[in-house]
Amino acid sequence: MKPFYLLAFCIILTAACGPAPQPSLMEMEEWDLLWISDSSGWDVARVYAAMVAEDTGITIDLHDNWIGGLAAADVLRALQGEETQSFTLANLADEIREAEIIVFYANPEGSWRDDNPADWYCIGASGNYVNNCDMSTFDTYIADLEAIYQLIFELRDGQPTIIRAYDAYTPRVVNWQADGCFDACHACWDNYNAAIRQAAATYNIPVADVYAAWNGADGTLDPVERGYTKDNVHPNELGARLIAEAVRATGYDPVIP
């Protein structure tokens, strides 16, 4: 048994010194950059990674995990340990544990309220309509995003982490106009992006303003006409650079929730 004075000394020393300090991110030689998104992030991660390396002088090990149609509900289930058919999602938790910088976006499919379901479609080349996209219909989506952020922090276990989100652009401005639902779809899209920002704000996570970069400050400009897409939907080189620049503009301060 340790003498009492030795035990007391150990307690005092631990209290005075505390846990070993975490190294500054900027003192590191290499960062793992984890990009998680749907196809709106197609080919964006490599552009952003090059920007980060240029800005910081740090070697970037890129993990580009964009998945077509990626929904927040699927990400949440995977991080909670549920079985998934996606190899990428199955390994996501391990990648988060190692990532010094994480960029995250996922859509609200599967995150609708049972007692107040959303009823709108504003992502098609035709057939767009709006019956209900009240802000309250995004409550489950917000909760799912917040749960994902909470799990990210738990997986990082106190390590300094740069976490960024980005909001949603729309390539369907002309289609909304053709279907006679521009104002209604525009309002839905505003609520959609408001939900993304609300969830991120809960954890002090900066949100890159991709919507403004692609659709203008008022969300009325057509990114297809502006030359930002390669297939009338997904970013080409210019479109990818605009998204990457928007994320870049949020800086590299680690997030303290």
- Vertex 64: Cα angle to 58 and 67 (nearest 5): 160
15, part of any domain: no
Torsion of CA 240, 242, 246, 247, to 10 degrees: 20
Which residue type does 226 have?
A: R
How many domains is the chain partitioned into structurally?
A: 1
95, part of any domain: yes
Q: Tens-of-pLDDT digits for all 257 residues of the chain?
A: 444 444 444 444 444 454 455 568 999 999 999 999 999 999 999 999 999 999 999 999 999 999 999 999 999 999 999 999 999 999 999 999 999 999 999 999 999 988 999 999 999 999 999 999 999 999 999 999 999 999 999 999 999 999 999 999 999 999 999 999 999 999 999 999 999 999 999 999 999 999 999 999 999 999 999 999 999 999 999 999 999 999 999 999 999 98
CA distance 130 to 193: 16
Residue 78: the pLDDT is 97
Residue 22: the pLDDT is 57
257, part of any domain: no
39, part of any domain: yes
129-132 and 101-104 strand pairing: unpaired
State pTM to two decimals: 0.90
36, part of any domain: yes
190, part of any domain: yes
Residue 21: the pLDDT is 52
19, part of any domain: no
Residue 201: the pLDDT is 98
CATH classification at residue 234: 3.40.50.1110
What is the domain extent for residue 96?
26-248
197, part of any domain: yes
CA distance 245 to 179: 32
168 phi, psi to nearest 5 deg: -100, 130
